[in-house]
Amino acid sequence: MTIPQSFPPSTDEAPAAEMPARVTPMMEQYLEIKAANPGLLLFYRMGDFYELFFEDAEIASKALGIVLTKRGKHQGMDIPMCGVPVERSDDYLHRLIEAGHRVAVCEQTEDPAAARARGNKSVVRRDVVRLVTPGTLTEDTLLDARANNYLLAIARARASSGGDRIGLAWIDISTSEFIVTECATGELAATLSRINPNEAIVTDALYGDADLGPLLRELPAVTPLTRDVFDSATAERRLCDYFAVATMDGLSAMSRLEATAAAAAVTYIDRTQVGKRPPLSPPSREASGTTMAIDPATRANLELTRTLAGERHGSLLDAIDCTVTPAGSRLLAQRLAAPLTDSAGIARRLDAIAAFVADSAVRDDIRATLRAAPDMSRALARLSVGRGGPRDLAGLRDGIFAADAALAQLQRLDDPPAEIAAVMDALRRPPRDLAREFERALAEQLPLIKRDGGFVREGYEPALDETRNLRDASRLVVASMQARYADATSIKGLKIRHNNVLGYFVEVTAQHGDKLMAPPLNATFIHRQTLAGQVRFTTAELGEIEAKIANAGDRALGLELEIFERLCALAIVASEDLRAAAHAFAILDVATALAKLAVDDNYVRPEVDTSLGFAIEAGRHPVVEQALKRDGQPFIANACNLSPVPPPYPPPQAGEGRVGAGQIWLITGPNMAGKSTFLRQNALIALLAQIGSFVPASRARIGIVDRLFSRVGAADDLARGRSTFMVEMVETAVILNQASERSLVILDEIGRGTATFDGLSIAWAAIEHLHEANRCRTLFATHYHELTALSAKLPRLFNATVRVKEWQGDVVFLHEVLPGSADRSYGIQVAKLAGLPPPVIARAKSVLAKLEAQDRGQTARALADDLPLFAVPSRAAAELAPPSEAEQLVEAVKALHPDEMSPREALEALYALKAKLPKG
């Protein structure tokens, strides 16, 4: 929008007259504030409304579906305007934020009377009190209770070892969590999809970067900022300032790059909260490699937190989420997004679940306690930025009492494992006096917002009781006045009512109106308003009593607000202890929920160690099993063994001798037999084991998986100009280039998106590469039965198939995974089941018969004999050839980002480049 520099005039806040010649003081103020907040919609407070003008009004009216009106003119043109009532502004804000907008909320910061006192033409002072952006929300109404709301700052720097490094800092101000980490640029996509931020901030230069820019612009909201926000030289100072400490050393160990991102995040929070600093936990550092790396495609394909259609229902998270509190649900989502790679950490979580599996009585009692406990961390965050209400104080009170209840219940556990012992310590922290004080202070029924008053309990503060009595006594006087007036005028239906515009008034029906307006009654009753059915009056006596009531009411509210601030301050002093207890509740919720899931759905404790093993007995798919159960269908459990050495317990249906040696399972089988389900269930079991959950199997031994890759399902990515096949190949390339021995790879029908022979050849070569170069644990499902010939040459390749039965020309799916290979796909039978017209089925059968006459299998067997299987170029060899000096120089220049460098950094870079030149 272009902001008009000169404006039609007016003398006050009344709507501008048609075609005035000067800028109104109010519009002048509006334009100044608008110019100071570029890129944001301005909610400009006028009485009970937030008004929007010009292009803001056009955008908001369209996004919110509200009426666009006009107010005065500018340069002969109407000024578009729309408004939202302050009372319901949260709802409108929510919709604007969802639609990707950011909003500056501008309030009146003085009483209109004070403005009038300054002179006729004075405009009420207004200031922006807050910028509402997707990553900096605190209100319950604006937040999803079950999901974290992260603001992520992303900083980039050149590492001393060469290549770029990325520093990341993410904060949920509604819960105070603050985490930092570093990664290589190649890991950014996986890291972003793990953090799943609601808003990211980056430098202008990074936003425009040819490589990383597109990745960033895929996030739900990205705000590019000027370089100073990401200035590494001032980062430490800004962080110290925020945390009010002399040095960050005592709070958190961070790299310079992490500190740069962290400082950018707190600077942005400072800006958006306009001076109110939400308390944040000191940044906790996430060391790289401590979580399982899962790239965005795998995350999406495995439908971890959302299905491919974008629904929570049907995702793994939805299937395993038995938590009873929003904070527990958030923690479970966090854990699922970042499975651990440290077996001790996993064991700690599993121990806690095991304790609650063993003691169902304690588990059920804890869950009942948690169900009634409020979301303390979000209540606390709202109170600390001045947006809390009486119910938030009550939330903290109830939370502390719930901590006592939970502690008593946990003490019934015989020998609490480490995680539960830590939870118990945290639950002891919040000061009990605080809860007792809140208990004494707060009334039974609490209003949502403090300005409504009435939340302080009678008897808590004598001065407040006195003022309230005065106010209530005056109200009684009004009641008796009504009776007296009715008597004196002989109008039975005379009422004294109240509204915000007129205050107290006498109301009679239209038929009695004339009587009060005629002598002698008109000496007492002063006409105020005539409506269709009623006439309204006031009297001098009523005016007086109204003033008394208003004064007493104002005084009472003032006292209540003072008490509120006092209580709020007490809570803030105890905020660290309260947050610790809130987090302990979340841990307890997750542990008891996963224990309940384990018991209800018959999950077992996995054995997770540092080996490269992978042996699942009677594994099931957690989501498909639940869906089948709802329909009364059983899920057929299947074993899987990808361990490099024979395990002590061979899977029940395994073939002779070969199972233990197989690292790649090549699964062939008819359509609809359950290949994809089998692939995914094994990946999900590994994932569940590493978040520290029991798993759907009768036994599972899993050597830590460092990266999980999947290539399943196919969808185009038209937005990025990629066809289905291209997407498939890009994802396959990532796997072949990056999977290591510790990775777990699942590949479903590689190569099916192209011509048969191209597809078969690609699948063939990919398996050889996985076997020889990647050497990772792999599940590979395919309809190319020719690939099974590879097992003759690849010693760690094992053929498995999903069994079906043919019955009267139809196919019956048994869903059993067995050693061996399928001889056919039964595609035509499945097509028949799907309802393809009989002539098409008949024709397909005859075409198939002809095609099968030309035996492709023979060619494949010959290929398996011929191919130089071990000629896969080793990565080490490729890495050995050192780059030339010229290549090194070019790489070094390419890696420079002049827009992100200070003059000093630029000079240093220049020296470094010069030093790289060949001597002489």
Ligand X SMILES: Nc1ncnc2c1ncn2[C@@H]1O[C@H](COP(=O)(O)OP(=O)(O)OP(=O)(O)O)[C@@H](O)[C@H]1O
Annotation-wise, does 301 bind a ligand?
no
Please count the CA atoms within 13 angstroms of the CA of 325 that sit on its side-chain side. 29
Range in contact with ligand X (rule: CB under 6 A) among 6-14, 295-303, 665-673, 841-849: 665-673
Range in contact with ligand X (rule: CB under 6 A) among 64-72, 126-134, 628-636, 719-727: 628-636
User: Using the rule CB under 6 A, which residue among 426, 673, 685, 687 binds ligand X?
Assistant: 673
Q: Shortest Cβ distance from residue 632 to ligand X (Å)?
A: 12
d(CA 315, CA 306): 5
Annotation-wise, does 676 bind a ligand?
yes
Could you say whether residue 640 binds ligand X (CB under 6 A)?
no
Spell out a b/e string for 377-392, using b for 16 or more CB atoms within 10 Å of the CB, else e: bbbbbbbbbebbbbbb
Annotation-wise, does 37 bind a ligand?
no
d(CA 788, CA 917): 54
Q: Which amino acid is at 250?
A: G
Q: Determine if residue 162 is left, alpha or beta; phi over 0 gives left, psi from -120 to 50 gives alpha, anything else beta.
A: left
Q: Shortest Cβ distance from residue 714 to ligand X (Å)?
A: 10
Question: What letter would DSSP give residue 554?
Answer: H
Site for ligand X in 680-739 (CB under 6 A): none
Residue with smaller CB distance to ligand X, 363 or 815 = 815
Are 166 and 188 within 8 A, CB to CB? yes
User: Using the rule CB under 6 A, which residue among 50, 635, 764, 780 binds ligand X?
Assistant: 635
d(CA 567, CA 441): 9
Residue with smaller CB distance to ligand X, 162 or 634 = 634
Range in contact with ligand X (rule: CB under 6 A) among 467-475, 478-486, 675-683, 730-738: 675-683
Residue with smaller CB distance to ligand X, 394 or 811 = 811
Furthest CA-CA distance within the chain: 120
Annotation-wise, does 672 bind a ligand?
yes
Element (H, E) at 498: strand 495-499
User: Using the rule CB under 6 A, which residue among 677, 690, 778, 782 binds ligand X?
Assistant: 677
- The encoded tokens of residue 719 equal 């937005």
Question: What letter would DSSP give residue 773?
Answer: I
Q: Shortest Cβ distance from residue 781 to ligand X (Å)?
A: 6
User: Using the rule CB under 6 A, which residue among 672, 687, 790, 909 binds ligand X?
Assistant: 672
Other CB atoms within 10 A of residue 221 CB = 17
How far apart, in Å, are the Cα atoms of 137 and each of 45, 176, 230, 396, 397?
Answer: 20, 12, 22, 20, 23
Residue with smaller CB distance to ligand X, 631 or 656 = 631
Element (H, E) at 81: strand 77-85
Q: Shortest Cβ distance from residue 786 to ligand X (Å)?
A: 16
Annotation-wise, does 198 bind a ligand?
no
User: Using the rule CB under 6 A, which residue among 135, 374, 453, 674 binds ligand X?
Assistant: 674
User: Using the rule CB under 6 A, which residue among 175, 281, 341, 676 binds ligand X?
Assistant: 676
Three-state secondary structure along 306-324?
CCCCCCCCCCHHHHHCCCC
Best CA proximity match to 22, nearest among 34, 33, 35, 11: 11
Q: Which amino acid is at 378?
A: R
Range in contact with ligand X (rule: CB under 6 A) among 79-87, 258-266, 670-678, 722-730: 670-678
Sorted by sequence, the CB contacts under 8 Å of residue 311 that are 6+ apart come out as none
Residue with smaller CB distance to ligand X, 199 or 749 = 749
Q: Shortest Cβ distance from residue 814 to ligand X (Å)?
A: 9
Q: Give the residue nearest to ligand X (CB).
A: 674
Could you say whether residue 746 binds ligand X (CB under 6 A)?
no
d(CA 606, CA 685): 9
d(CA 274, CA 385): 10
Range in contact with ligand X (rule: CB under 6 A) among 94-102, 353-361, 633-641, 793-801: 633-641
d(CA 230, CA 259): 10
Residue with smaller CB distance to ligand X, 87 or 823 = 823
Range in contact with ligand X (rule: CB under 6 A) among 67-75, 470-478, 545-553, 666-674: 666-674
User: Using the rule CB under 6 A, which residue among 158, 707, 777, 815 binds ligand X?
Assistant: 815
Binding residues for ligand X, rule CB under 6 A, total 14
d(CA 623, CA 619): 12
Annotation-wise, does 399 bind a ligand?
no
Spell out a b/e string for 139-164, using b for 16 or more CB atoms within 10 Å of the CB, else e: bbebbeebbbbbbbbbbbbbeeeeeb
Range in contact with ligand X (rule: CB under 6 A) among 13-21, 538-546, 597-605, 664-672: 664-672
d(CA 739, CA 719): 27
User: Using the rule CB under 6 A, which residue among 23, 376, 624, 704 binds ligand X?
Assistant: 624
Range in contact with ligand X (rule: CB under 6 A) among 234-242, 391-399, 594-602, 630-638: 630-638
Could you say whether residue 675 binds ligand X (CB under 6 A)?
yes
User: Using the rule CB under 6 A, which residue among 671, 774, 799, 801 binds ligand X?
Assistant: 671
Element (H, E) at 666: strand 664-668
Residue with smaller CB distance to ligand X, 471 or 620 = 620
Residue with smaller CB distance to ligand X, 534 or 754 = 754
Residue with smaller CB distance to ligand X, 169 or 672 = 672
Residue with smaller CB distance to ligand X, 174 or 677 = 677
Annotation-wise, does 675 bind a ligand?
yes
Residue with smaller CB distance to ligand X, 641 or 671 = 671
Residue with smaller CB distance to ligand X, 265 or 636 = 636
Range in contact with ligand X (rule: CB under 6 A) among 282-290, 368-376, 534-542, 668-676: 668-676
How far apart, in Å, are the Cα atoms of 370 and each of 320, 325, 578, 809?
Answer: 18, 7, 15, 56
Output the CA torsion sign for 18, 21, 26, 30. positive
Residue with smaller CB distance to ligand X, 792 or 812 = 812
Contact footprint for ligand X (CB under 6 A): 624, 628, 635-636, 638, 669, 671-677, 815
Q: Which residues are annotated as a binding site for ATP?
A: 669-676
Q: Which residues are annotated as a binding site?
A: 669-676
